[in-house]
Structure 1
Amino acid sequence: MKKLILFLSLMTLCICAASAQIYKWTDAQGNVHFSDVPHDGAEKVKINESQTFSPPKPINGNNSTLGTKDQTSNKPRSYTKVVISQPQNEATVRNNNGYLVVAVELEPDLTPGDNLQLLFDGAPIGEPQPNLSFQLNGIYRGEHTIAVQVLDPSGQVLNTSDSVTFFMHRARVGMGGGGTKS
């Protein structure tokens, strides 16, 4: 019972505070003051309603279009373009940490649920992902090939890019020129 009385008291205070009038006045030094108590020369401040948002109603209120969309999504999707745009084929990548960014271009855009799998020297590396770029670290020096597969939600390969060959160049300690050892 005490909790109910406390709750009702708090609700009454909230309602009173929400409906309180605000007054504004300027003192002799030119300072502007606001208060809930009127002073000489104070004017009422008009408080606008708080901003609200109502989401727009769907254009088509029935759910029949969702069913047809799901049915068409079961058809095999085809990607007309699956290309590795970075690095370019036969490129030399100079990075002492063996860092490489692989960028992929797709047409049409990746369908929700589909993922990309990076193949590094013929083997899958990392988990399939919906991102169009991959970041690799610690790549050993030498020649490597990469390709990208587009996978559907069940993991089936929908399309594969052409392989790109690149050469990782990492400087070695002691390869500097000119100095002599004593």
Structure 2
Amino acid sequence: MKLTTFLALLLCTYSTLSFAETKIYRWVDSQGKTHFADTAPPGTPQITVENKNLVSNQEPVDTHQAQAAKKNKQDLEKVKKEAVKYQAEIVYPQDDTAIRSNEGTLEINVKTTPEKESTQLLQLYLDGQALGSPQISPTIRALNVDRGTHQVQAHLIGEDGQVLATTQIVTVHLQRISIK
């Protein structure tokens, strides 16, 4: 079994090398057509063809140079992000709005200018405390909020955790049925 595998590999290697040694001839016949073949009429010159299938080793990249280029790219991206000044505002509910929700659900809609990127998140604050985890959606729901007056605010957070913009504080009055 091993001998047949070895012979098959040897045959494949030999056949590949024989293709590399093939001679090619070019001639033009009496009708003006150009022909190429591995055999030719007598007196036809042989042409040489460069082997384009060879791959040469590339020079190694200087790691210091590559790291410097990567750092420059990161610095440029950071400058671009810092140059953008985001603004955020709560568009719903408006300040001093009374909302009736027996389930205690507050739905907050935040608008950012310019529009936030997919890597940026919105964190809702209820009465100065972060509520839940940061969200991708501009519509944030606060669940099971106690009845009464609350102050709502949202922060736009960049992918590095930095606060990019803060909304105004909106006062809402949540009305829920209470059973006595």
8 Å Cα contact 1:110/1:130 also seen in 2: no
Partner secondary structure for residue 74 of structure 1: helix
Asked if residue 88 in structure 1 is aligned to residue 94 in structure 2, the reply is: yes
Tell me the equivalent position of 2:61. none
Please report how far the alpha carbon of residue 68 of structure 1 lies from its aligned counterpart in structure 2 after TM superposition.
8.6
The CA distance in 2 between the partners of 1:167 and 1:158, in whole Å, is 28
8 Å Cα contact 1:117/1:128 also seen in 2: yes
Larger-Rg structure: 2
Q: Which of 140, 164, 174 is residue 158 of structure 1 equivalent to?
A: 164
User: 2:77 is aligned with what amino acid?
Assistant: S
Tell me the equivalent position of 1:99. 105
- Mapping of 1:25-174 within 5 angstroms? 71-75=75-79, 76=82, 77-79=84-86, 81-173=87-179
> Per the alignment, do residues 88 and 134 of structure 1 end up closer, same or farther by CA in structure 2, a change over 3 Å counting?
same
- Ranges in structure 1 where 5+ consecutive residues have no aligned partner: 1-66, 175-182
8 Å Cα contact 1:103/1:132 also seen in 2: yes
The CA distance in 1 between the partners of 2:127 and 2:77, in whole Å, is 32
1:58-95 CA distances to partner (integer Å, 9 max, x unpaired)?
Answer: xxxxxxxxx9985543121321x311011110000101
8 Å Cα contact 1:101/1:135 also seen in 2: yes
User: 1:161 is aligned with what amino acid?
Assistant: T
| Structure (1 or 2) with the greater helix fraction | 2
The CA distance in 1 between the partners of 2:98 and 2:72, in whole Å, is 49
- Aligned-residue Cα RMSD (Å) equals 2.1
Partner secondary structure for residue 95 of structure 2: coil
Partner secondary structure for residue 73 of structure 1: helix
The CA distance in 2 between the partners of 1:73 and 1:126, in whole Å, is 30
1:118-156 CA distances to partner (integer Å, 9 max, x unpaired)?
Answer: 111101111112210101111101010111111111211
The CA distance in 2 between the partners of 1:72 and 1:82, in whole Å, is 25
8 Å Cα contact 1:118/1:149 also seen in 2: yes
The CA distance in 2 between the partners of 1:142 and 1:121, in whole Å, is 11
Q: How many residues align?
A: 108
TM score, norm. by length of structure 2: 0.55
> Per the alignment, do residues 130 and 86 of structure 1 end up closer, same or farther by CA in structure 2, a change over 3 Å counting?
same
The CA distance in 1 between the partners of 2:130 and 2:145, in whole Å, is 15
8 Å Cα contact 2:131/2:142 also seen in 1: no
8 Å Cα contact 1:118/1:148 also seen in 2: yes
Tell me the equivalent position of 1:35. none
